[in-house]
């Protein structure tokens, strides 16, 4: 065997090694991407559960339900609680919309934006809150999403439909 044949075989082996390495790296990058998406999804789901815990806590639930029916009827302390519950929800929506735009977290988008949102945005108090200038500070995409939710749910009865006598005083 001469040196030219040996060099050719070595080059072919090296080329095969490069291709195998590239295939391996591509699989590793894909797995890292899937892991990252799963982590983002898990984080959003955890944030959503935490937000619901805050809204439904003994300290906030009455103010939240009362505020959904009439933001203007809230006392200053109740308004503060309602403001932070609504802002917390819209901040979470903003995160979800950003993840969606980046192609991540698709499995929690419906949970966060199409489950809780329509239930909240069907109430006049939520609309009052939004029109009191509370949209400032949210990205244009979040404002557009909230405006769409209000329009889409304008005629929808409130999900948690209670008579006025059931509402906290």
| pLDDT tens digits in sequence order for the chain, 169 residues long | 688 888 888 888 888 988 889 888 888 888 887 777 777 777 877 888 888 888 888 889 899 989 988 999 999 999 999 999 998 888 888 888 887 777 765 666 776 777 777 778 888 898 899 888 777 788 888 888 888 888 887 776 666 555 555 555 5
d(CA 97, CA 118): 16
d(CA 31, CA 26): 9
| pLDDT tens-place string over residues 47-96 | 888 888 888 888 898 999 899 889 999 999 999 999 999 988 888 888 88
Find all residues with CB under 8 Å of 110, minimum gap 6, and list them.
none
Residue with tokens 């950003």: 98
Nearest residue to 89 via CA among 66, 59, 64: 64
Q: Which two tokens stand for residue 66?
A: 């009362």
């Amino acid at each position: 065997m001469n040196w030219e044949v040996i060099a050719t075989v070595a080059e072919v082996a090296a080329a095969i090694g490069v291709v195998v390495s590239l295939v391996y790296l591509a699989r590793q990058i894909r797995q890292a991407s899937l892991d990252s998406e799963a982590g983002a999804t898990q984080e959003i789901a955890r944030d959503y559960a935490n937000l619901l815990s805050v809204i439904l806590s003994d300290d906030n639930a009455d103010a939240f339900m009362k505020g959904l029916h009439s933001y203007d009827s809230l006392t200053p302390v109740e308004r503060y609680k309602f403001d932070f519950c609504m802002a917390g929800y819209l901040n979470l929506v903003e995160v979800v919309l950003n993840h969606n735009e980046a192609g991540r977290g698709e499995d929690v988008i419906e949970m966060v934006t199409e489950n809780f949102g329509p239930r909240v945005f069907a109430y006049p108090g939520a609309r009052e809150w939004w029109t009191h200038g509370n949209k400032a500070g949210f990205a244009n995409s979040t404002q557009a999403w909230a405006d769409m939710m209000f329009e889409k749910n304008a005629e929808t009865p409130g999900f948690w439909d209670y008579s006025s006598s059931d509402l906290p005083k």
